[in-house]
Amino acid sequence: MKVGIIGCGEISEIHMAIFRKLENVEVVAVSDIILEKAKKFADKWGIKKFFIDYKDLLELEELDFVDICTPVWTHASIAIDTAKSGHNILLEKPMALSSKECENMIEASKKHGVSLCVNHHNLFYPSIRKAKALVDSGYFDLQSFEVSFYKNLYIEKLPAWAYKPEYGGLLWEVGTHPTYLQLFFLPDIKNVYAVGKKSNLVYDGFSVLLSSSNGSFGLMKFCFTSNYREEYLCQITSQNGNGAKIFISLDSFLDKSNYISKAPLKFIQEEKDLLRSWTKATFRALYHRNRYYDFMNSKFLLMKSYVESLSNNLSPPVPPEQGKDTILLLECIKKSLETEKVVSYK
């Protein structure tokens, strides 16, 4: 299966490393608006063809799909041009700047009969899959799904545009992940209420409450300037108070639904499970000599699933409708923050 990559930034390096691990996948061409950048990328990975104009790449008939790794404000135009060229599309998150752009991309992909997959890789963490299996098991009556994201992104290596409101800011660039996780566990969201503050034109230190039509609710808490080194935690709770915690950064799943009810014993069980999961995560990271192993693995599983879907003529693992729903929810969160009012979702 032959692939073309548009955009030769940091995320494309990650994608390229994953493509090298996938069987029967070959990247045959790359493009970037900076020709020297495209050439350097191509030389590093032994790719023969490189372009400054992505439309030249789209003219290659042998491509089975195109991997779009460009900034969010370019996604709609590039994806629509790619669909018109007849090539399937793997698209980095967030899908677009607006739900209207998403609709245009979906319309183009359907019109030209191409498969469009959005790279919502957090859905492929094994810990998230375990939590979803528990919720779908039939005996776990979900009451709430909570996500806490505390991180100091000003010390991260994010591009300058990621902080600019006109490009969605950190809410789009980083908030996309917790948002599509909410939709994964709460597909019937009805109302959105967000409260918070702005810091340097970027919303920071805010919370989002989501109500669903069946009475369950979601909660998201964000802080982009946190003193915590890293905190990305999910929690599911049932109607009877049982639940589980998911530590995304460690890909750790703590199922508390079968804990003994007495408080001291319950505390001991939780601490033992937490220590066990952290020990596993530490050894796993040491073994792979890469603290981003779980992050890479989740992307690998998504991209592998997409390649398989193309080979077997199946629907993409993350269809564009999910990407659109995520952007629509982000729009509702932004509107609620601005107006300090409850906003209807869909």
Q: Write down the domain spans for the chain.
A: 2-122+298-303, 123-293+328-339
Residue 148, SS3? strand
Number of other CB atoms surrounding residue 211 within 10 Å: 18
Amino acid at 54: Y
Q: How far apart are CA 86 and CA 58, in angstroms?
A: 9
Distances (CA, A) of 284 to 151, 238, 288, 292, 293: 23, 30, 6, 10, 8
Q: How far apart are CA 24 and CA 307, in angstroms?
A: 10
CATH topology for 123-293+328-339? Dihydrodipicolinate Reductase; domain 2 (3.30.360)
* Least reliable range by pLDDT among 84-98, 139-153, 196-210, 251-265: 251-265
Distances (CA, A) of 98 to 166, 205, 260, 271, 329: 11, 23, 47, 43, 10
Q: How sure is the predictor about 288, in pLDDT bands with cuts at 50, 70 and 90?
A: very low
pLDDT digits (tens, 9 = 90+) for 234-251: 999 998 888 888 988 778
pLDDT of residue 158: 83
Segment 268-277 shows an average pLDDT of: 58
Query: Which pair of tokens denotes residue 69?
Result: 């790794």
CATH topology for 2-122+298-303? Rossmann fold (3.40.50)
**2-122+298-303 and 123-293+328-339: identical CATH topology:** no
**DSSP state string for 219-238:** EEEEETB-SSS-EEEEEEEE
Residues 6 or more apart from 208 whose CB is under 8 A from it? 192, 193, 194, 218, 219, 220, 221, 222, 333, 336
Q: How far apart are CA 22 and CA 301, in angstroms?
A: 10
